[in-house]
């Protein structure tokens, strides 16, 4: 006798389970898995940031002695004992309803009761389970038939700030292989430049200079911004590519980290600069180097300053700590003309629905979207699929080194192969705010 069931039964959630696993820094984080009636399976692991915006959703940690206070047993328990009973039997395709239910269960403005890490692990796992039930890759489930743009990678290959132990104040110095004709070619270029830089740093600064930071970039004993930019230009040329044509540069200043709020100055390169002087400093860098994008160039509450620097630089100005993937802060930025691009980090806001809402708002207002990793990452590849689903055109997921970074790049290689002739690589066109001549 054949059992009959309807379509809704197929997608019904039958299993929700969370556990702790380790991230790339060796700290615990939350992994959730979800199963559906038809055998669909999804899992997701939540990343963790080091340089975090003040307004991010709360990552719930245990405190105490175990794991030096960084345990996530409370968040895991919240999934298994509070969230799971509430969403069992729900239709996994109803992402927005499930995410709303978890937000209501939490009942706080920043998800501090259940933890954004608990909520997000389930939110993403539900999407994976629904996609698997359909037999679709996640990017196609989320983005439909039009999802075909492979993102240009912004690769952090020199680390400063909180990601390194040197004196560089700028947090990330990135290469961007815009001259490639495909994602796979872009990844090859990035790898070649990375290894070229490794040889240069080893020769100039010694073996210790090739130690890598949290995101796979090198952390050489540098103290000045131009010293790092010159090293990138050398590495690009030495790898056989032309700076400004094949490979351009980007910065993540993370300026809140070197801003003295009481005195209103930025301490960088041995000087203390006002907002106006810091903007002039950026202007000089953009004139001297093929820089197409600067992230968080100013303090995270300075919407007025962000508007000024956006008008002044005529390049991509990215809001990360400024927006924290939050539609209310993004709306405020759009109204003020602050920045012209959103850095999308799903764990900043805590659910897939809210992250996608922020992305849609950005795109509808002609802001670019850069889908981003965190410094504490895992083998989870969800962001690779989100980048393609949105046709975002840009992804930031570290150097082409360390398995937790390369997992994302390798998944994009698979997606490009899956798409075949439909795959598109936008190159410099992904930087629609860029108004300068290279």
Annotated binding site for substrate: 163, 172, 295, 320, 372-375, 396
* Token pair for 116: 């954004």
Say if residues 315 and 436 touch (Cβ distance below 8 Å). yes
For residue 83, the Cα-to-chain-centroid distance in whole angstroms is: 26
Active-site annotation holds for 345: yes
The two beta strands, 265-268 and 259-260, are antiparallel
Annotate 155-182 with three-state secondary structure: EEEEECHHHCCCCCCCCEEEEECCCCCC
The one catalytic residue among 215, 257, 354, 411: 215
Q: Which residues carry a binding-site annotation?
A: 163, 171-172, 252, 295, 320, 345, 372-375, 396
CA distance linking residue 191 with residue 399, whole number of Å:
8
- Sheet strand arrangement including 259-260: 259-260, 265-268, 271-273
Q: Which residues carry a binding-site annotation for Mg(2+)?
A: 252, 295, 320
CA distance linking residue 356 with residue 325, whole number of Å:
9
* Token pair for 188: 């090859």
User: CA nearest 214: which of 347, 72, 377?
Assistant: 377
Q: Which residues carry a binding-site annotation for (2R)-2-phosphoglycerate?
A: 171, 345, 374-375, 396
Say if residues 74 and 68 touch (Cβ distance below 8 Å). no
The one catalytic residue among 33, 345, 377, 411: 345
CA distance linking residue 190 with residue 153, whole number of Å:
9
Catalytic residues: 215, 345
């Amino acid at each position: 006798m054949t059992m009959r069931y309807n379509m809704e039964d197929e997608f019904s959630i039958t299993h929700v389970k969370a556990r702790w696993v380790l991230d790339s820094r060796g700290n615990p984080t939350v992994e959730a898995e979800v199963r559906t009636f038809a055998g669909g399976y999804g899992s997701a692991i939540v990343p963790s940031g080091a340089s975090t915006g003040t307004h991010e959703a709360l990552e719930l940690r245990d405190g105490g002695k175990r794991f030096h206070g960084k345990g996530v047993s409370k968040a895991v328990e919240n999934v298994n004992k509070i969230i799971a009973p509430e969403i069992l039997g729900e239709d996994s395709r109803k992402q927005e309803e499930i995410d709303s239910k978890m937000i209501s269960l939490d009942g706080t403005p920043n998800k501090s009761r259940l933890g954004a890490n608990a909520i997000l692990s389930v939110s993403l796992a539900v999407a994976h389970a629904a996609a698997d039930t359909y037999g679709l890759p996640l990017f196609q489930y989320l983005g439909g038939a039009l999802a075909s743009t492979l993102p240009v990678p912004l690769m952090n290959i020199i680390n400063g700030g909180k990601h390194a132990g040197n004196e560089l104040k700028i947090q990330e110095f990135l290469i961007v292989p815009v001259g490639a004709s495909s994602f796979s070619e872009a990844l090859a270029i990035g790898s070649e430049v990375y290894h070229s830089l490794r040889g240069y740093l080893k020769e100039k600064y010694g073996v210790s200079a090739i130690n890598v930071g949290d995101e796979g970039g090198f952390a050489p004993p540098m103290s000045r911004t131009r010293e790092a930019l010159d090293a990138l230009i050398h590495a690009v040329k030495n790898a056989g590519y032309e700076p400004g044509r094949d490979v351009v540069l980007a910065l993540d200043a993370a300026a809140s980290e070197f801003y003295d709020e009481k005195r209103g100055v930025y301490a960088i390169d041995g000087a203390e600069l006002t907002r106006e002087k810091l903007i002039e400093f950026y202007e000089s860098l953009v004139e001297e180097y093929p820089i197409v994008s600067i992230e968080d160039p100013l303090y995270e509450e300075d919407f007025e300053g962000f508007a000024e620097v956006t008008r002044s630089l005529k390049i991509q100005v990215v809001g990360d700590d400024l927006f924290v993937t939050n539609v209310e802060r993004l709306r405020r930025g759009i109204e003020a003309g602050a920045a012209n691009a959103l850095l999308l980090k799903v764990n900043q806001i805590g659910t897939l629905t809210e992250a996608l809402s922020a992305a849609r708002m950005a795109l509808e207002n002609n802001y670019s979207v850069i889908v981003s990793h965190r410094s504490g990452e895992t083998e989870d590849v969800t962001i690779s699929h989100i980048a393609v689903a949105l046709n975002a055109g840009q992804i930031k997921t570290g150097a082409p080194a360390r398995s937790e970074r390369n997992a994302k790049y390798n998944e994009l290689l698979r997606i490009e192969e899956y798409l075949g002739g439909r795959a598109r690589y936008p190159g410099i066109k992904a930087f629609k705010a860029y108004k300068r001549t290279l």
